[in-house]
Amino acid sequence: MLWQLFIEPANLVFSISLCLMLFLGITEAILLLVGSSSQGLLEQFLPDQITGQHVELQTVENNSAFVSLLEWLYLGKVPLLIWFVIFLTVYALFGFIGQSLIYTVSGHYLSIWIAAPASLLLCMPLVRFSALIIAKILPQDQSTAIYSDELIGRTGIIILGEAKPNSPAQAKVKDQFGLTHYVLVEPETDTIYVQGQHVVLTQRTTLGFKATSEFI
């Protein structure tokens, strides 16, 4: 019965998710045995807003709906690879259980084009809850909280939007502990900073920081 559920074409997405979860787990275990990790490699293929370590500046307002969604899903609260394993596991199990219940009631499986996106949306609260539990279980690092002013003089990179005078864009910058902060920056002069451009934070503003592209 379980094998039939696994190989059923209507459950292909869930089967792939489960296999990918096992592959990631086995690969990471092997890499850890040889003193390496896939964490850094994995992050190269993800949006810049996602990071394994994320410290939020209390004094900087960030109204990005996308970043808010990532924070709600506890991305950044647990190691990125562990979050993906949680997501793939919950998504696969949620899909299999849902399809099994539908088959029991109706005698056929729901179309993959309906089951896959529906399960993706419905399982997200469970993904968040699971990540929350794991975040509480994992040992916490020593606090590396910093003052916002300590980021002044550090180099950041524009990752979202264009920075114009009185129209800030989102940038990411690392502090002295190597942790990533997401801040709003605007140019000191009448210029425009585009995505991918490196800037230096020079002073605080109400929402974030002033920045310059001139490097000393």
For the chain, the structural domain boundaries read 2-137, 148-212
Compute the 3-state secondary structure of the chain and give helix, strand, coil in percent, each to the nearest 5: 45, 20, 35
Give the pLDDT band (50/70/90) at residue 92. Answer: very high
Q: Is the pLDDT of residue 14 over 80?
A: yes
> What mean pLDDT is predicted for residues 51-60?
42
Which pLDDT belongs to residue 90? 94
Q: Are 92 and 120 in contact (CB under 8 A)?
A: no
Number of Cβ within a 10 Å radius of residue 155? 13
Which pLDDT belongs to residue 1? 64
Among residues 188, 183, 191, 189, the alpha carbon closest in space to that of 208 is found at 183
Number of Cβ within a 10 Å radius of residue 68? 11
CA angle 19, 107, 126 (to 5 degrees): 45
Amino acid identity for residue 212 in this structure: T
Q: Is the pLDDT of residue 59 over 50?
A: no
The domain 148-212 having CATH identifier 3.50.50.60: the answer here is no
Give the separation between CA 60 and CA 140, rounded to whole angstroms. Answer: 24
Structure tokens given for 69:
């969604």
Which pLDDT belongs to residue 32? 62
User: What's the pTM value of the predicted model, to 2 decimals?
Assistant: 0.57
Question: Which residues share a beta bridge with 185?
Answer: 169, 209
CA angle 208, 47, 50 (to 5 degrees): 65
Burial of 216 (C-beta count, 10 Å sphere; 0-12/13-18/19+): exposed
Between 49 and 35, the higher pLDDT residue = 35
Q: Are 137 and 82 in contact (CB under 8 A)?
A: no
> What mean pLDDT is predicted for residues 166-189?
84
Which pLDDT belongs to residue 61? 43
Residues in Cβ contact with 61 at an 8 Å cutoff, skipping those fewer than 6 apart? 184, 207
Which pLDDT belongs to residue 83? 84
> What mean pLDDT is predicted for residues 143-154?
64
- Summarised one tens digit per residue, pLDDT across range 32-48 is 666 555 555 555 444 44
Structure tokens given for 57:
């500046």
- Summarised one tens digit per residue, pLDDT across range 97-148 is 999 999 889 888 899 999 999 999 999 999 999 988 887 886 554 443 445 6
Among residues 193, 201, 198, the alpha carbon closest in space to that of 175 is found at 201
Between 17 and 31, the higher pLDDT residue = 17
